[in-house]
Amino acid sequence: MTELKITGAQALIKSLVEENVNTIFGYPGGAIMPIYDALYDYTDSINHVLVRHEQGAIHAAQGYARVSDKTGVVFATSGPGATNLITGLADALIDSTPLVCITGQVASHLLGTDAFQETDIIGISAPITKWNYQITKAHEIPSVIAKAFFIASSGRPGPVLIDITKDAQFESMQFYYEKCTKIRSYYPNPELNKDSVEEAAKLINQAKKPFLLIGQGIMLSNAENELKEFVEKSGIPVASTLLGLGAFPNNHPLYVGYLGMHGDYAPNIKTNECDVLIAIGMRFDDRVTGDVSRYAKQAKVIHIEIDASELHKIIKADVPIHADAKEALKLLTASINKNQHDLWLEEFKSAKKTEVDTLKQSAEILHSEELKMNEVIELLSEITHGEAIVVTDVGQHQMMAARYYQFNKSKSNITSGGLGTMGFALPAAIGAKFGAPKNTVIAIIGDGGFQMTVQELGTILQSKIDVKIVILNNRFLGMVRQWQQLFFEKRYSFTEMISPDFVALAKAYSIEAAKIENRANLKDALLKMLNYEGSYLLEVMVAKEENVFPMVPTGASVSEIRLK
């Protein structure tokens, strides 16, 4: 529809409305000021969340996108505003999170002159975006924005950055918007090869010890129901990657655990004992494989993946299936025989018992009087029935949450997986609450990561949202300290941390808070936090030198996983 002439800035906001955007995370500045002025007239239909740092904006948009099935939208100004998005862009690319980031830029005649707050954000962000583009003419805005949303959300999702010069924001134009549905030479939805599916089905039907590994791709394709049908027909044990947690209910009898360096004992060792390994929507990250030269060499590998570049990249697949997980699973389920693998499943249960018994014995010997991180997570899981949205930062608490929270709902585990970004959890939890306002959102954070984006407590204050924050305070950069203990002869080089009074800090932001130091008060404290109307911070003092086990040491095979 053609309208009266409007400015480029107004065209941008109208384009976002056409894409059904109702939430934006951002921070204004000089080069994006015309866009913010245009936004002023849309506050009834678009909620702008004012963060306290641009990194907070992009992590919040990630949390929002991960729980809502929508594309997260970010506004930032030029120069430092734009460069403060870099960590989040890298995080979103590796974790396949759909974002559209809009940055203001100096006027086009100043490009390349080192003008005030000018940076080449296109050049800087090129390696860590799915696509980026600089707009210097207002008439480009509608078509480029339409293309940005299509690219960000289709195929394997990812972040897109659009940089708009200030003169393009002021320039007048005729507005017309048409959503983008295809781009020449970009094929986000691969054609499913039915012969490959039949070949995979034949291997699965003949397998004596098949094993299924699932990743976030299941949730990105909304294939949770198809996955459950496949698993229950095939009877195959299922293990999840870190980002795949929640794609398959953790309380299902065929779920056998969490994969990876700090994953469960059974799925790690059984990877090197299965005869057919089926990987769906996961990329064989190094934290999952350990030593690649000794990974699943005995197994026939079936790999279903929408991103062709991931096929054969780390692990050579005997049957690669370049396809959307949902589409592939439908056809694969129709092609396999109904089966069950009771004896094989018993092997997983036996290995699980070995893990539980060993870890319990270690806990009884070490620091038995001190609260442990896993105690907190297990009790939190029990109280919430594994149905809360849990947002974790990076470190020991992250691994403990992955291991001990029972993720029974899809899109309920929000964490920084591939990049491992400390400071992710607090802003991502804010975004998750905006994306799923009816859900309980709990941010589980270490004392180190919390202080990297602690200023976002101000966003909670201003936005008046309900986020529950649990700080597991061990007074160390715990994961680094664990490695220093195990591999650097306990030379704790700059990992012990002195922190402020977190309770007083929270209350300074008008957030209710409490601190506990013993298990006798733990359940009551968690219940009080969860039942409180509004945001709440609970600091839990845990053992200073608690380690996360099991653990696959760097360079080791998954078969060499250590229980202590």
What pLDDT score was predicted for residue 364? 57
State how far the Cα of 247 lies from the Cα of 79, in Å rounded to an integer.
39
- Name the token pair of 364: 């009884």
CATH assignment, 194-348 = 3.40.50.1220
Give residue 3's pLDDT band: very low, low, confident or very high (50, 70, 90). Answer: low
DSSP at 551: B
1 has a pLDDT exceeding 60 = no
What are residue 414's DSSP bridge partners?
A: 391
Spatial contact of 92 and 158, defined as CB atoms under 8 Å apart? yes
Query: Which pLDDT does position 363 carry in this prediction?
Result: 61
Mean pLDDT of 463-487: 95
Query: What's the pLDDT at 527?
Result: 98
C-beta separation of 553 from 406 below 8 A: no
Quote the pLDDT of residue 368. Answer: 67
Q: In the chain, where are the structural domains located?
A: 4-175, 194-348, 367-541
pTM here is: 0.96
Given the candidates 3.40.50.970, 3.40.1280.10, 3.20.20.150, 1.10.3720.10, the CATH classification of the domain at 367-541 is 3.40.50.970
pLDDT tens digit string along 325-383? 999 999 999 999 999 999 999 999 999 999 999 987 766 555 567 899 999 999 999 99
Q: Which fold has domain 4-175?
A: Rossmann fold (3.40.50)
Which helix (H) or strand (E) covers residue 92, if one does?
A: helix 86-94
Confidence category of residue 134, pLDDT binned at 50, 70, 90: very high
Query: Is the pLDDT assigned to residue 448 strictly greater than 80?
Result: yes
Task: Evaluate whether 4-175 and 367-541 have a shared fold.
Answer: yes
CB 103 within 8 A of CB 32: yes
User: Among all residues, which ones are annotated catalytic?
Assistant: 54, 116-117, 166, 479
Q: What are phi and psi of 172, to 5 degrees?
A: -85, 155
Residue 14: CB atoms within 10 Å: 18
